[in-house]
Copies of this chain bind each other. A is one copy, B any other.
Amino acid sequence: MTLLGKRIAVVGSGAVGCYYGGMLAHVGHDVRFLIRSDLDAVRRNGLVIDTKGEVIRLPKVQAFATAEEIGPVDLILIAVKTTANRELERLLPPLIGEHTALLTLQNGLGNEEFLSARWGAERVTGALCFVCINRTEPGVIRHLDHGSISIGEFGKPVSERVRAVAAAFNEATVEARAVDNLAGERWRKLLWNIPFNGLSIAARANVAEVLADDDLRSLARSLMDEGLDAARRLGHDIPDAFADWQIERSASMGPYRSSSMIDFESGRPVEVEAIWGEPLRQGLAAGATMPKLDALYRIVKFLANR
């Protein structure tokens, strides 16, 4: 199985959608971008991906204003912010044919469940994107660091289609791996996002500031402990040492400002439910007590929505 010759749609043409879709288009895949605000600029100038210094130009991009113009495809890359998930109810149906697969590149928990409830679990795959990326102007993506992607089925081990997508990304020079336990991988990533994105809003502290302050570093670690307990109750066996390593590796990030912090300070929607609300609900449902996450969630939610 291969993605070559298949139709791919990208829904949500911010930095993530343009980067991952653009890298596939660059090596010859049939990628159709559904674009809202940047449509004219992308039709005129195409996409430019400045990836760690190397500049990839895609002068001709298949850019569409509506999903109806794109029509049914084989694979949909979903890269809208989770706060806009309800818009997918309107955007996805024209793209979905009998065998269309969905791949959410979105953050946090609850996105596979959202897609599954509406279009069937058998269509749903998901990916974690480990990438530092910005949209600097319409159609121009600046890829600063990292970029790897972990792709898995929703609630199932690796499948042939997941391997095919991972292979396509690897051929496009995007480091990709197929993973058996997507939900477990999401929890591993959340162990970091919950405290560091959360404290970047509640305490206005960047990564270096959290690590340098005894109180916040300790709070970050105990939020990780709550997450470890929840993840284990949900069947994801993550060792304590992983949380320790998450703290240690953060030291090299310096005064990194989380995506949530940037969203918050720019007045854009913060992905409150995907990063804090849904992990809290899933953890509580599995019998975990998560009082510190509960407090952090409520404070972040209030600050982000005021």
In angstroms, Cα B289 to Cα A280, docked, is 19
- Contact yes or no, A295 B298, CB < 8 A: no
Given known contacts A213-B302, A302-B213, A295 and B219 CB-to-CB distance under 8 angstroms: yes
Is A218 on the interface with B (CB-CB < 8 A)?
yes
A25-33, A103-111, A197-205: which lies at the B interface?
A: A197-205
In angstroms, Cα B216 to Cα A203, docked, is 16
Q: Point out the residues of chain B lying under 8 angstroms from A209, CB to CB.
A: 302, 306
In angstroms, Cα B302 to Cα A298, docked, is 18
- Contact yes or no, A298 B219, CB < 8 A: yes
Is A75 on the interface with B (CB-CB < 8 A)?
no
* Minimum CB distance partner of A291 in chain B: B291
CB A194 to nearest CB in B, in angstroms, measures 12
Is A296 on the interface with B (CB-CB < 8 A)?
yes
Q: Point out the residues of chain B lying under 8 angstroms from A298, CB to CB.
A: 215-216, 218-219
Is A299 on the interface with B (CB-CB < 8 A)?
yes
Q: Point out the residues of chain B lying under 8 angstroms from A296, CB to CB.
A: 295
- Contact yes or no, B215 A301, CB < 8 A: yes
CB A159 to nearest CB in B, in angstroms, measures 39
CB A270 to nearest CB in B, in angstroms, measures 14
Is A41 on the interface with B (CB-CB < 8 A)?
no
Is A156 on the interface with B (CB-CB < 8 A)?
no
- Interface 0/1 of A267-306, CB less than 8 Å to B: 0000000000000000000000001101111110111001
- Interface 0/1 of A243-275, CB less than 8 Å to B: 000000000000000000000000000000000
Q: Point out the residues of chain B lying under 8 angstroms from A295, CB to CB.
A: 219, 291-292, 295-296
Highest count of chain B CB atoms <10 Å: which of A215, A294, A297? A215
Q: Point out the residues of chain B lying under 8 angstroms from A303, CB to CB.
A: 203-204
* Minimum CB distance partner of A226 in chain B: B291
Q: What are 14 pairs between A and B in contact, CB < 8 Å?
A: A199-B299, A202-B202, A203-B299, A203-B303, A204-B303, A213-B302, A218-B298, A219-B295, A219-B298, A222-B291, A291-B292, A291-B295, A292-B292, A292-B295
